Amino acid sequence: MAVVKNKINFPLESLNNSGLMTFTISSESLSRAISLMPEHTAIGVMRNALIDAFVAPPTQIRLDFQHFNSNYSIMHTMLMGDETATYSSYYSFNRQDYQALYKSKLDILLSTTVIYTVSLKDSFANTIGGFNPFSSNVFIEGNQKYKLTANPARKNISISITQNDGSVSRRYSISNKYLFFTSKPYLASSSHKYGVNQNPEYKSRTIFSILDILKTN
């Protein structure tokens, strides 16, 4: 698959390259976590402005917009050709000129404006590692592996993801007090024990593979 390069921090660089703990995480896992974040405000602003431009001339598109009480969400769905059973009979349905402009503008936002910060946090919410900020379309299609380092932590480690619009921050659970992942889907090897009965010698482990993460807030 083709590489989708971002304009900021491609490829992902670790925030703390001297950390003693090393984590790897796949682009698939990061993409899935970010997909749980609310839409960046810049995307909504762009979309509404584009719809305003399409409904400004006195055409049937404006009449369709007014028919749905100037509802931007419905109009976007219609113009994008979604929900065929509901909107296919309207003139504004599946407008390729709108879709081309929307995709072009969205690609620009994802490259330059929609920025995420991924941090590793200890149980006291201190940042112990993570990635430098990166733009949303940093990921390569497929299952790429990214490496990040962190300082040792005594208790739970979580991943925090923040959008640069300042309004959204989400925390994801990945490990327990022994710095091991709490269920088999999070383990690099299914032979490792998990939960509160982990062997104490695993406390010294310094290399981890994050296979998935769960949103906790």
Per-residue model confidence as pLDDT tens digits over 156-187: 677 888 888 766 666 666 644 444 443 333 33
The yes-or-no verdict on residue 63 having pLDDT over 90 is yes
Distances (CA, A) of 150 to 18, 128, 163, 190, 203: 8, 5, 21, 24, 15
First-to-last alpha carbon distance for the chain, in angstroms, is: 33
CA angle 77/108/41 to nearest 5° reads: 60
- Residue type at position 100: A
pTM exceeds 0.85: no
What's the burial of 215, exposed, middle or buried (CB within 10 Å: 0-12/13-18/19+)? middle
- Residue 130: the pLDDT is 86
Residue 72 belongs to domain spanning:
42-111
Return the higher-pLDDT residue of 198 and 75. Answer: 75
> Which tokens belong to 103?
């995709």
- Do 205 and 23 touch, CB atoms closer than 8 A? no
Q: Mind listing the pLDDT tens digit for each residue in 117-158?
A: 888 887 788 888 888 888 877 665 556 778 887 776 656 677
Domains: count for the chain: 2
The answer, yes or no, to whether residue 83 has pLDDT greater than 80, is: yes
In a domain, 8, yes or no: no
* 89 shares a domain with 27: no
Q: Is there a single domain that holds both residue 106 and residue 121?
A: no
pLDDT band for position 189 (50/70/90)? very low
Asked if residue 135 lies in contact with residue 93, where contact means CB atoms within 8 angstroms, the answer is no
pLDDT at position 147 is 82
In angstroms, what is the C-alpha Rg of the chain? Answer: 22
Average pLDDT of span 25-45: 83
**207 in the same domain as 150:** yes
Say if residue 71 is in the same domain as residue 149: no
pLDDT at residue 50 is higher than 90: yes
Last residue within a domain, chosen from 84, 111, 138: 111
